Amino acid sequence: MRFVSLLLFCGSCLGLSWLGMMAIHELGHVIGVMLTGGQVQQVVLHPFEISRTDVSPNPSPGIVVWLGPVFGAFVPIVIWLAIPASWAWLRSLAQWMAGFCLIANGCYIGFGSFARIGDCRQMLESGSPIWALWLFACVTIVPGVWLWHSLGSLDQLWKTEHPISLRAAAITFATFVACGIVLALLSG
């Protein structure tokens, strides 16, 4: 039962992290649109699709496209740093999320540059040199891995006598499923 609880909890945390990362990333694009006088047509946050923000008109595509990953990578760091050290559990959770957002956005921009997918295509078409995408990947992935590494070893989680209760795992899973359903319904 302990293995099931851990697996359910960790899987649900990964899923919630993915959904949260997509929402923060797309919020960055929306803020970019608002700052540059464009108009958001649609934000897609479906759990089984790559998120996107459809914009028309888009007077400053370079700014809008970069604000997604920049906001998506660095706002979680600000949130993590704002949580008092005395709130250890919440601070660790925020550190996990900050690391996840750094790694996810960095991998998306760095590896996506080779296939020119999604935001990467728009960045390159807007005049960003490919090395800027690779630099962004380096300055996000490395600290993201460091944030995760400084949380401790996965071995510690598996060897702890009572790491996660089945109730906590079920609540986390239910939250993930509920968020996924809401996002799927909102995305039509």
pLDDT digits (tens, 9 = 90+) for 39-57: 999 999 888 888 999 999 9
Closest by Cα among 34, 63, 35, 45 to 123:
63
Our CA dihedral for 164, 169, 172, 175, rounded to 10 degrees, sits at -160
Question: How crowded is residue 188: how many other Cβ atoms within 10 Å of its Cβ?
Answer: 7
**Rounded Cα gap, residues 36 and 55, in angstroms:** 11
Using 50, 70 and 90 to split pLDDT, how confident is the model at 162?
low
pTM value is 0.90
- Looking at residue 112, its amino acid is G
Confidence band of 158 (pLDDT split at 50, 70, 90): low
Residue 132 burial (CB < 10 Å; 0-12/13-18/19+)?
A: middle
- How confident is the model at residue 82, as a pLDDT? 97
> Which of the four pLDDT bands, split at 50, 70 and 90, describes residue 78?
very high
Q: Distance between CA 142 and CA 138 in Å, rounded?
A: 6
Sign of dihedral through CA atoms 47, 97, 11, 115? positive
Determine whether 151 is exposed, middle or buried from the number of CB atoms within 10 Å of its CB (0-12, 13-18, 19+).
middle
DSSP H helical ranges for 150-165: 154-159
H-helix or E-strand spanning residue 62: helix 61-82
